[in-house]
Amino acid sequence: MRITDSSGQLLSIVYLAMSDEEARELIGALEDLQRAEKGWHAHVSDTSGRVEVTVYREDDPTALS
């Protein structure tokens, strides 16, 4: 697992406080990750769209291209 900020700086501790709906969306993204093809990624956002978690395969350098 690698957690970074938007500039690529590594973060060692992250706290996620989520609503039920946001948690369901993240669970769905993680389930999709298990079947992901090259280049796949998913965005899980709060209702405002200002807070976002992007999920992708760690071993896929093309995921955020």
Domain interval for residue 27: 20-56
Look at residue 6 and tell me if it is in a domain.
no
Look at residue 41 and tell me if it is in a domain.
yes
Distance, in Å, from the CA atom of 41 to the CA atom of 2, rounded to the nearest integer, reads 14
pLDDT at 28: 97
Look at residue 7 and tell me if it is in a domain.
no
Residues with Cβ within 8 Å of residue 10, at least 6 apart in sequence: 2, 3, 4
Look at residue 32 and tell me if it is in a domain.
yes
Residues with Cβ within 8 Å of residue 13, at least 6 apart in sequence: none
Domains of the chain: total: 1
Q: Tell me the average confidence (pLDDT) per consecutive run of 10 residues in the chain, 65 residues long.
A: 89 94 96 94 93 92 82
For the chain, give the number of residues. 65
Look at residues 44, 41, 43, 45 and name the one whose alpha carbon lies nearest to residue 64. Answer: 41
Look at residue 36 and tell me if it is in a domain.
yes
Look at residue 47 and tell me if it is in a domain.
yes
Look at residue 10 and tell me if it is in a domain.
no
